[in-house]
Amino acid sequence: MLKTTKQSLSVYSPVNIPLLKKVKIWLKEKYGSSYKNILHISYVFSPIPEFNIPAVKRELFNYFSKFHSYKIKIGSVYLNKKKKFFYLKINHPQILKMHNELTLLVNKYRNNYFREKDLERMKKDYYSEEELKMLKRFGYARVFKTFEPHISLGDLEHNIENINLDEILKQLQTKLHPLINKEYLIDSAVVVYYQDSSWNTEGKFIWKNIFKLQN
């Protein structure tokens, strides 16, 4: 039987771009987006049993002492139709480097635990074959080959209205066109250990630390 936990570790960098915040709010108010997280770039996400957190903390404090700030370039808006999920593509070698290294580092302390919600999703064929392979190996579906650096804008998966996703995508592309190919500084990373949440409830923070990336 697979081991499960409701505790997860997330490592990300917050993104502070006023127009993005405005559009994210618009998507929620106009179309009922259920996406609650702040704007961010995710590096790694993993279910970690609580008894391994002290060791993970030590590893992460050492890891982030070596990293420098960097600038991202904003790409186009995309839509995942299956999940009714809108996002901005971004790219920078440091994002991939941090993702690859942190995924391997954190996975050492996962002890083959899984999130309860991922086991439920597995039963519903929520993941692709490659995502399922990554999930079983690393405790999360979007790693390495299935990892795509992005900034999430909104999730309409739980919107029961008859909505035109392609039309919403066009509106988002128009609203966010001024950002395309502009650069924005990423100068911090955040590590959060928290009690997992369902789609309509807030997660509960257990531990949080902000790392300032060197100039």
**Given a cut of 60, is residue 201 above it in pLDDT?**
no
> DSSP for 169-208?
HHHHHHHHGGGTT-EEEE-EEEEEEEE---TTS--EEEEE
Q: What is the pLDDT of residue 162?
A: 82
Q: Give the whole-angstrom CA distance, residue 60 versus residue 9.
A: 11
Q: Give the whole-angstrom CA distance, residue 49 versus residue 9.
A: 9
Residue-wise pLDDT for 57-70, tens only, equals 999 999 998 889 99
Contact at 8 Å (CB) between 132 and 9?
A: no
The Cα-based distances of 172 to 21, 22, 76, 158, 175 in angstroms read 12, 11, 10, 19, 5
Contact at 8 Å (CB) between 83 and 155?
A: yes
Q: Give the whole-angstrom CA distance, residue 156 versus residue 10.
A: 22
Contact at 8 Å (CB) between 187 and 212?
A: yes
Residue-wise pLDDT for 142-159, tens only, equals 999 899 999 999 998 777
212's CB contacts (< 8 A; 6+ apart) are 187, 188
pLDDT band, very low/low/confident/very high, at 199 (cuts 50, 70, 90) = very low
Q: Give the whole-angstrom CA distance, residue 63 versus residue 45.
A: 16
The Cα-based distances of 37 to 28, 71, 159, 167 in angstroms read 12, 21, 17, 24
pLDDT band, very low/low/confident/very high, at 175 (cuts 50, 70, 90) = very high
For helices 165-176 and 18-31, give the axis angle rounded to 10 degrees. Answer: 160
Residue-wise pLDDT for 83-93, tens only, equals 899 999 998 99
- 139 conformational bin, left if phi > 0, alpha if psi -120 to 50, beta if neither: left
Query: How do beta strands 85-91 and 70-80 pair?
Result: antiparallel
Compute how many other C-beta atoms are within 10 angstroms of the C-beta atom of residue 68: 9
Q: What is the pLDDT of residue 206?
A: 82
Mean pLDDT of 173-191: 94
Considering only residues 207 and 106, tell me which one the structure prediction assigns the higher pLDDT: 106
Architecture of domain 3-212: Alpha-Beta Complex (3.90)
**Given a cut of 90, is residue 56 above it in pLDDT?**
yes
Radius of gyration, CA atoms only, the chain: 17
pLDDT band, very low/low/confident/very high, at 101 (cuts 50, 70, 90) = very high
Domain boundaries, the chain: 3-212
**Length reported for the chain:** 215
Q: What is the pLDDT of residue 2?
A: 83
Q: Give the whole-angstrom CA distance, residue 158 versus residue 172.
A: 19
pLDDT band, very low/low/confident/very high, at 17 (cuts 50, 70, 90) = very high
Q: Give the whole-angstrom CA distance, residue 119 versus residue 30.
A: 32
